[in-house]
Structure 1
Amino acid sequence: MKPIRLLSGFFTVGFWTLASRILGFAREILLTAYIGPGPVMDAFVAAFRLPNLFRRFFAEGAFNAAFVPMFSKRLEGGEDAHGLAQEAFSLLGAVVLGLVALGMIFMPVLVWATAAGFAGDGRFDMAVGYGRIVFPYILFMSLAALFSGILNATGRFAAAAAAPVLLNVFACGAMIAGAIVGGAVIDWLVWVIPVAGIAQLALVWVAAERAGFRLRPGLPRVTPRMRHLVRVAVPAALAMGVTQVNLVVGQLVASRTETAVSWLFAADRLYQLPLGVVGIAVGIVLLPDLSRRLRVGDETGARDALSRAGEFTLLLTLPSTAAFLAVPLPLVSVLFERGATGPEDSAAIAVAVAIYGVGLPAFVLQKLLQPLYFAREDTVSPFRYAVVAMAINAGLAFGLYPLVGWLAPAIAASTAGWAMVVLLALGARGMGEAARFDARFRTRSLRIALASALMGLCLWAVVRAAPAVFGLPGWRYAALLGLIALGAAVYFALGQMLGAFRLSEMRRALRRG
C-alpha cells in the first residue's frame, strides 16, 4: 500500500482552505461594507444558504462519505475504480439536475421552509429571486465533489483544495466591479455565483483527467454498486449535514428578528475560518487513509493516523477558541465595522462569535471522529446521533428564543455540537484499537489546552489595558495584526515549553512529505 502522507496532506489542504477563508473574509468584509446587515443581506444569506445546504448533503456530505471509502478500497485492490467513478458521476449528475429543476420551481416553498420569518415583508420576494439565480450552483459543486473525492483518494489534494478559492475571487471581483460601475452590488454578487461554480468544476475535472480518470456525462445506471452507494449515502446525508441543518433551524428562529440573520451569518463566517482550515483538512485527508489501512488490517497504523490527526486538530482549534472567548469584539470590529456596518452590529456579532467559539472544538472534533464510521461504511450510526443532536438543537433554539432572543440559535448550535461529539465518541468504543487515541495524544492534548488558555488570558489582558486602540482609524488594523502576532508567539512559546508539540517534528514530517 502506498500510504497517504497525512501531515503533508493536512498542510496542503489547510493552506488552500486558509487562502479560501481569507478571501472569504474579504468577501464578507465587502458584503458588510457595501450592503450591510439589514433586509437585503438577510435575503441574500437565506438564498445562498439553500445551495450550500444541499451541497453539504449531496457533495461534501452524503456523497463523499459513501463514495470515497468505496473508491479508495477499489483503487487499492485494483477493482475497477474508474468504472465506479463513471457510474457515480452519471447517477449524481442526473439526481442533482432533477433537484435543481425542482428547486427553481418550488423556490418560494424552500424560502418559507428555511426563513419563515420573512413571510409578509420584502425579504421574502428578494430571497426567492436571489435563490433562483444561485441555486444551480449546487449542480456544479456536487459534480466537483466527485472529482475532488477521486483526487483526494489518490493523494492529490492541491487542486481539490484550491477550487473553493475561485468562488471568493469571483465574488470579490464582482462586488468591487459593481461598486465601481455604479450598479446594484447585490445583483453582481448573485449572478457571479453560478459562474464561479462552473470554474470550480472545470478546475477539478481537468485535474482528475490528468490523474488518469477520464469521466464523461452519460445515462444513469442503477447497478448493484450504485444501490450500495445510495444505501450508504442516504443516512450520511443527515449525519454529515447536521451543522447545516442546525444553521437552517437557527435561521428559522433568527428570521423573526430583523437583522439577526445577518449578525449570525457574520459570526458564522468568523468561526468557520479555523473550522474550515482544520476540520475540513482533517476530514478530507483522514477518511481515505483510514479506509485503505482498515482494508489491509493495519490497526496500529490507523490508530497512529487518528491520534496524529487529533493532535493537529487541537493544535490549531483550541487557541482559536481561546481568542474567540477572550477578544471577540476587537476581532469583529476591525474585520467588519465599516460602511453599512456600525458599532451596534459589531457588538451583537461579537457576542455570537463568543458563543460559537464554545462549540468550535466540537464542530472540529466531529470531522475527526466521523471518518472512523465512514471508513467502515457505517453511516447509520452517525445518522442516529445526528437525529439526537438536531432534536437538541431545535429544542434549545425555539425554547430559548423567548428568554434570550436571537442568540438562542448560537447557544443551541454549540450545545448540539458537543452532544454529537459525545455520541460519536461513545459509539466508537467498540471499534477496537484503531479507534482509540494513544498515550502521546492524551498527554499533549492537555498541554495544548493549557497553552491555549494562558494565551487567551494574555490577549484579554492586552485588550483590557488598551481597548481604544482597536477603534482608531489607521491604527486598528495594525493593532489587530499585532494582537494576532502576540497571541501566536505566546502560544507557540508556551507550547514548546510545556511539551504540547515539537515544531521540529512538524518540519521533519513536512520534509518527508
Structure 2
Amino acid sequence: MSLFVKFIGVGGATSASRVLGFVREATIAAVLGAGPVADAFYAALRFPNLFRRLFAEGAFNAAFVPIFAKEVEINGNQSAAKFAGEVFSILVLVLGILSVFALIFMPFLAGTVIAPAFQDTPEKFDLTVLLARIMFPYLAAMSLVAMLTGVLNSFRKYFLAALAPVLLNIVLISVLFAAIRFDLPDKDVGIALAVGVVFSGLLQLGLLVFGLVRAGFRFVPRPPRLTPQISRLLKLAAPAALTGGIVQINLVVGQIIASQQDGAIALLNYADRIYQLPLGVIGIAIGVVLLPELARALGANEQKTALSLQNRSLEFGLGLTLPAAVALALAPVPFVAVIYERGAFSHETTLATAHALAAFAIGLPSFVMIKVLQPGFFAREDMRTPMWFSLVSLVVNAAGSLLMFPVIGHVGIAAATSLAGWANALLLGVTLWHRDHFRPAPETLRRAGLTVVCSIVMGAFLYGAWIAIEDAFIASGILMRVLFAAGLVAACVAIYFGLAIATGAVDRSMLIRSLKRGGKASPAKET
C-alpha cells in the first residue's frame, strides 16, 4: 500500500477523533464557557498530557519505534517480543513511582507548574488540585497505550491505534450530555469530566490489547532488568522525551503566563482545538507512518527509499497544511462561531478565541514540517540534535510569551508558540541539509513553490468573500452560519485543489495510483 494511502488512513481515523473533539469542546463551551471550572479542568488536564507526551508518546515514538522496528526487521518477532516484555515492565515500574509522587505533591505542582496565579483564587486552585489528582492516572494508561501503539505501527498496523483517541471524546461527550440531562452544577461537571478522562484511558488500553491479539503478536512482561537493549532505549529516550513533548512544554509555559488573565487558558484551549484538526489529520498521520517506515528503510540500507519517503511526506504535508493555515489566519471567526458560539460562549468570546486561532495558524506549517523532519534524526537514533533544537524553541516561546503577553494578552502566547515552531523547523531543516541526510528534490521544491502560489490565490478569495458576508453572518442564526461557513470551505477547496491539480502542485499520477491502490486495499489489513 502506498505512503499516500497510509497517510489518508491514519488521517481519516485522526479526523474522526478531531471532529468528535469539536463536539466535545463545543459542549464544554456551552456548559462551562470560559469560566473558572473550565479554566481549572483544562489546566489540570494539561499536566498529565504534558507527562504523557514527555514519557510516553515523545519517548516511545522517537526511541522505542526505531529500535523495535529494526529488531523486527533484523532478528524477527521472537526477539522483538522479548524486548517488548522488558520495556513493558520498566515502564510500569516508572509510571507507578511517578504517579505516587505526583498524587502526594499535587498542591505544590499546581502552585508552581500547572497554574501558579490560581492561588489568588483559592476555590479555583483547590478544584484544579482535585481534578489533577483524579486525572493523573490517565498518564499511566496512555503511556502503555503509546507503547502498544509503537508495536502496532512497527508492524505497519496504523489504523486502530489512530482510532483509539475517539474513545476519549465519546466518553466525555456522554458525560456532558448526562450533566445537561441532570442539570449538574459546574463543579460537579468538572469532576465528572475528570473521571471520564481516566475511564477513557482504560478503554483505549483495552482496544490496543485487542489490536495486538488480532495482529497475532504477544509478549510476556519480564522482571525489570537493565539489559543492554533497555540501556540503549533509556539513553535514547531521555532526549527524545523532551523533544517529543516540546509542544506540550510550550503550552504549559504559555498556560503559566496565561493564568494571570481570567479565561485566557480556556480561550487558548478552544483555539488550540481548531488548529489541531489539520495538525492532527496531517501532521500526526505523517509522524505515525513516516518514522517506522523510515527506520525500516534505513535498517535495510535502502537510502533511495528513505529519501523518497521524506520527499513525498514533505509534499503531502505542505500541500494540505499551507491552505489550511491561510484559511484559519485570514478568516478565523466563522470557524470559531459555528463550533462554539452558543450558551455561555458569547460573541465577544468568539472574537477573543479567533484572534488566538489566527496567531496559532501562522505556525501550523512549521509544526507539520517538524513531523516530517524529526524522523530523519530519530530513525538514525540521533535524539540529541532535535533535543537541542527543541530547547532553543522553548526559549523562543518563553521569551516571546513574556514580551507579547503584556501587550496583546493571550494572543501573544499563541503567536510565541508559532514563532517557536518556525525556529525549530528551520534548525531541523538546515541541519539535515548540511549533513546531506535530506535535501528536497528539485521537483519537491517546485511543487512547494506552486503550493504557496495556490494558497495565496485561495486566501485572497477567502478574505474578500468573508469581508462581503461578515455582517450577514454575524446577524444570522446557527443554521445560516453553518451554510455560510460550508460555502466558504467548499469554494476554497475547489479553488485550491483546482489550481493545485492544474499547475502540478499535486503529483497527479501519484494521486491517481494511490487512490486506485486505496480502493483495492482491504481496510482490515490496516487495522
Distance 2:166 2:473 in 1: 29
Q: Which one-letter code corresponds to 2:120 in the other structure?
A: G
- 5+ residue gaps in structure 1? none
2:513 is aligned to 508
Q: What is the one-letter code of the residue matched to 1:296?
A: A
Partner of 1:114: 114
Structure 1 counterpart of 2:9, from 12, 16, 21: 12
Q: Which residue of 2 aligns with 1:496?
A: 501
Aligned AA for 1:253?
I
Tell me the alpha carbon deviations over residues 133-183 of structure 1, each in whole angstroms, 9 at most, x when there is no partner. 111111111101111111111111111111011101111111011111222
**Where does residue 103 of structure 2 map in the other structure?**
104
Q: Which runs of 4+ in 1 moved over 6 A?
A: none
**C-alpha displacement of 1:82:** 1.1
- Aligned match for 1:461, one of 457, 461, 464: 464
Distance 2:115 2:352 in 1: 20
- Letter paired with 1:28: E
Alignment of 1:106-505 (within 5 A): 106-112=105-111, 113-121=113-121, 122-183=123-184, 184-432=188-436, 434-471=437-474, 472-473=476-477, 474-503=479-508, 505=510
Letter in 1 for 2:172: A
- Determine helix, strand or coil for the equivalent of 2:226: coil
Question: What displacement does 1:488 show?
Answer: 0.8
CA distances 1:211-253 after superposition (whole Å, capped 9, x unpaired): 2222344432211110110000000111111111000000011
Percent of aligned positions with the same letter in both sequences? 42
Offset at residue 396 of structure 1 (A): 1.4
Residue 469 of structure 1: how far off its partner (Å): 3.2
Deviation for aligned residue 1:462: 1.1
Residue type at the aligned position of 1:147: L
The amino acid across from 1:228 in the alignment is R
Which amino acid is 2:134 matched to?
A: I
* 8 Å contact from structure 1 (residues 334, 470) kept in 2: no
Find the aligned partners of 1:469 and 1:477 in 2 and give their Cα distance: 12
Contact 2:56–2:241 under 8 Å retained in 1: no
Q: Is the 8 A contact 1:311 1:445 kept in 2?
A: yes
Structure-2 separation of matches of 1:501 and 1:52? 36
User: Judging changes above 3 Å, is the alpha-carbon distance between structure 1 residues 262 and 379 closer, same or farther for their aligned structure 2 residues?
Assistant: same
In structure 2, how many angstroms separate the alpha carbons of the residues matched to 1:394 and 1:51?
21
| Gap regions ≥5 residues in structure 2 | 519-527
CA contact (8 A) 2:13 2:163 kept: yes
Give deviations 1:106-153, integer Å, cap 9, x for gaps.
111222212111112022111101111111111111101111111111
Match of 2:24 among 24, 27, 30: 27
One-letter code of the match for 1:71?
A: F
Q: Distance in 1 between matches of 2:221 and 2:413?
A: 41
TM-superposed deviation, 1:13: 0.6
How many angstroms apart in 1 are the aligned matches of 2:312 and 2:19? 26
Aligned length: 509
The alpha carbon displacement at 1:361 in A equals 0.7
Q: Could you give the per-residue CA deviations for residues 50-84 of structure 1, whole angstroms, max 9, x where no partner exists?
A: 11111101221012210000011110112511111
Alpha-carbon separation, structure 1, partners of 2:407 and 2:176? 38
Contact 1:322 1:452 in 2 (8 A): yes
Tell me how far apart the structure 2 counterparts of residues 297 and 402 of structure 1 sit (CA, whole Å).
52
Would you say the 8 A contact 1:171–1:192 is kept in 2?
yes
Matches of 1:83 and 1:340, distance apart in 2 = 53
Shift of 1:481: 1.4
Give the direction of change, closer, same or farther, for the CA distance of 1:507–1:96 in structure 2 (3 Å limit): farther
Amino acid at match of 1:106: F
CA deviation vs aligned residue, 1:178-201 (integer Å, no higher than 9, x gap): 111222432321111111000101
Whether the 8 Å contact between 1:89 and 1:215 is mirrored in structure 2 is no
User: Residues 418-471 of structure 1, C-alpha deviation per residue, up to 9 Å, x if partnerless?
Assistant: 110111112212443x51211121010111111111111111111111113323
Say which is worse superposed, 356-365 or 97-106, in terms of deviation. Answer: 97-106
Alignment correspondent of 2:521: none
CA RMSD between the two structures: 1.4
Normalising by the residue count of structure 2, what TM-score does the alignment of the two structures yield?
0.94
In 1, the alpha carbon distance for the partners of 2:67 and 2:213 equals: 20
SS class of match (2:368): helix
Q: Which amino acid aligns with 1:411?
A: A
1:246, 1:124 → 2: CA distance? 22
Contact 1:444 1:500 in 2 (8 A): yes
8 Å contact from structure 2 (residues 82, 219) kept in 1: no
Contact 1:175/1:186 (CA < 8 Å) preserved in 2? Answer: no
